[in-house]
Chains A and B, each alone.
Chain A
Amino acid sequence: MRIPIPEGGMSLFDWQPELFATFNMFYGVLWSEGVLDQPTKEVGRIRNARVVDCGI
Chain B
Amino acid sequence: MTWLAETAPGASSLDQVYGLTPGVYEQFRELERGVWASPALDPTMLEVARLRIAKLVGCRPELERRSPEAVAAGLTEEKIASLAQWPSSPLYNARERLILAFTESYVIDAHSVTDELCERLNEQFSPAELSALTIAIAVFDAMARFRTALDA
Which chain A residues have a beta carbon within 8 Å of chain B's beta carbons? 2-4, 6, 12-13, 15-16, 18-20, 22-23, 25-26, 29-30, 33-35, 52-54
Contacts and interface: CB of A to CB of B under 8 A. Distances in A.
Interface of B: 21, 23-24, 26-28, 30-31, 34-35, 38, 40, 110-111, 115, 118, 122, 127-128, 130-132, 134-135
B134 to A, nearest CB: 8
B50 to A, nearest CB: 16
Contact of A26 (B28, B110, B115, B122): B28
25 contacts: A2-B122, A3-B122, A3-B127, A3-B130, A3-B131, A6-B127, A13-B131, A15-B127, A16-B132, A16-B135, A18-B38, A19-B31, A19-B35, A20-B135, A22-B30, A23-B31, A26-B28, A26-B30, A29-B24, A29-B27, A30-B24, A34-B21, A34-B23, A53-B111, A54-B110
B99 to A, nearest CB: 15
Consensus secondary structure, chain A interface: helix
Contacts of B128: 15-16
A8 to B, nearest CB: 14
Q: Of A3, A16, A33, which is in contact with the most chain B CB atoms at under 10 Å from its CB? A: A16
A52 B110 contact: yes
Contacts of B34: 18-19, 22
A22 B110 contact: no
B40 A22 contact: no
Q: Of A13, A26, A53, which is in contact with the most chain B CB atoms at under 10 Å from its CB? A: A26
